[in-house]
Structure 1
């Protein structure tokens, strides 16, 4: 008798109850864990998008790390140019003083000695090491750091740009060390015309390092702006992943309650079908 009854059970109703039970179980799990799915097969398109977001985030993390490194170098260069610029101000003051033709030889010697001290300081600053142990102002090709797909930046200018190719007018250039050497010689043994010419060189140094300082400030600002853009992008990734992955608890509870109602209805329908089948068999 039982085999006969079981053979007549509505397969679709049993299947529907099984599917509802599975859905209820998964919905309970999403409410408990706060995660919409645990396997790619449960939400293939969302899983693919999350994987893509993860790869892009990894790339942008590397760019943010590069920005941090570049900023350290850029700010160190900026600070160095600021120090040199202050020294150049003093150099110009000394050359103005040296152009006073009433100075005694011993007074000129005092000026020359101070200029030598400044020359030594400038040489040390332009040969400084960076925070990572390398040359701050690299010789040869500039070191570039990637901070976006199509953006490579040089956080600090080359040694050539900083201390070698200084415009002295008329299309000519001289090194910082040579300019300082010529100034010292003009103060000690030069003519008034020599000292006047070297005062012009002090003006050239002022312009040169003012331009470097301004450019370095723009570089730091650009790094700050790029960091802000990437951090906003990272927040967007987090928000989008949360929308894809995290359970909307209110929606899940509503769905859970709806599934329970559907299961109860399926169970009543199944019970009714069972009674009908049993009466038919007895009759």
Structure 2
């Protein structure tokens, strides 16, 4: 009996010490707003938070790429839309020029307007993007990563825009098509001018297709940006759950620990007093 009594104070003190430590940690958690201060206090939560942090950093880089690609894609879409509108107007002018009642002077006026479109087209396809590079790159388009296995070119290359246009069963470049159109209107025969009608249709179809593809690309960028933003919001909420203190739960735990500590102190005092009486007796 004496050996049992000798161990009781040690057990009681140990329990009180553990409760006091938990109370201190809970107080710190409430004061700091953080559920833990060291990885060793919550290893699994710390690992998940670290993983969420790496995920957020990667998604930030993708969002930056999407922002840059979006600006370039919209600029390309605007340029292509302007060229497409010019091509439609060019077709109207060629139809007008095929009116045999027009004089040479009238056709020269039409040719001058077509020349202005040719110059505008040349300027647009050689334009720089907002970052100082070519909007329509020569060679392979520059691609940007917007997801793990997704690389995307924000604008088509120069070859597909202006250097390889399907006409008359073959291909030609935009400058040549416009020059031939202008010459046919200004000095060509009725047959030459009639031939240009089909070429203007090819031109309109070419740029209409480019605009459609560019519109799909812009929509894809918008959808990917929305998906990543939602992913980051979910990650932020999850990290907050892991990292931040639930104040109401922590206060309830703190109060419960105080009650347990008080009970442990009373039990220890009663046990210690009883042991002394037994020893005296």
Check whether the contact 2:168–2:199 (CA below 8 A) recurs between aligned residues.
Answer: no
Question: Who is 1:32 aligned against?
Answer: 31
Answer yes or no: is 1:115 the counterpart of 2:136: no
Residues 10-29 of structure 1 aligned to structure 2 (within 5 Å): 10-29=9-28
> CA–CA distance in 1 between the matches of 2:122 and 2:79?
11
Structure 2 SS opposite 1:273: helix
> Which residue is 1:198 aligned to?
196
Q: Which residue of 2 aligns with 1:97?
A: 96
Give the deviation of 1:167 after TM superposition: 0.9
Q: Shift of the alpha carbon at 1:43?
A: 0.2
Q: Deviations over 1:119-152 (max 9, x none)?
A: 1110000000000000000001110010000111
Displacement after TM superposition at 1:280 (Å)? 3.7
| Offset at residue 90 of structure 1 (A) | 1.5
Unpaired segments ≥5 residues, structure 1: 1-6
Q: Which whole-Å CA distance do the structure 1 matches of 2:270 and 2:108 have between them? A: 117
Contact 1:8 1:277 in 2 (8 A): no
* Match in the other structure for 1:4: none
Deviation above 4 Å: which 4+ runs of structure 1? none
Partner in structure 1 of residue 83 of structure 2: 84
SS at match of 1:147: strand
Map Cα deviations across residues 75-118 of structure 1 (whole Å, 9 max, x no partner).
00000011111111211111111111221111111111111111
Match of residue 256 from structure 2? 258
Residue of structure 2 in register with 1:224 after alignment: 222
Counterpart in 2 of 1:155?
Answer: 154
Q: Deviations over 1:27-78 (max 9, x none)?
A: 1111222211010010000000000000000000110110000000000000
Calculate the TM-score normalised by the size of structure 2: 0.95
Which structure 2 residue ranges, 5 or more long, are not aligned?
1-5
2:139 aligned with 1:140: yes
Say whether 1:276 aligns with 2:274.
Answer: yes
Q: In the TM superposition, what are the counterparts of 1:50-69 in structure 2 within 5 Å? A: 50-69=49-68
Give the conservation status (yes or no) of the 8 Å contact 1:127–1:135: yes
Task: Tell me the secondary structure at the aligned position of residue 10 of structure 1.
Answer: helix
Relative distance call for 1:199 and 1:265 in structure 2 (3 A) is: same
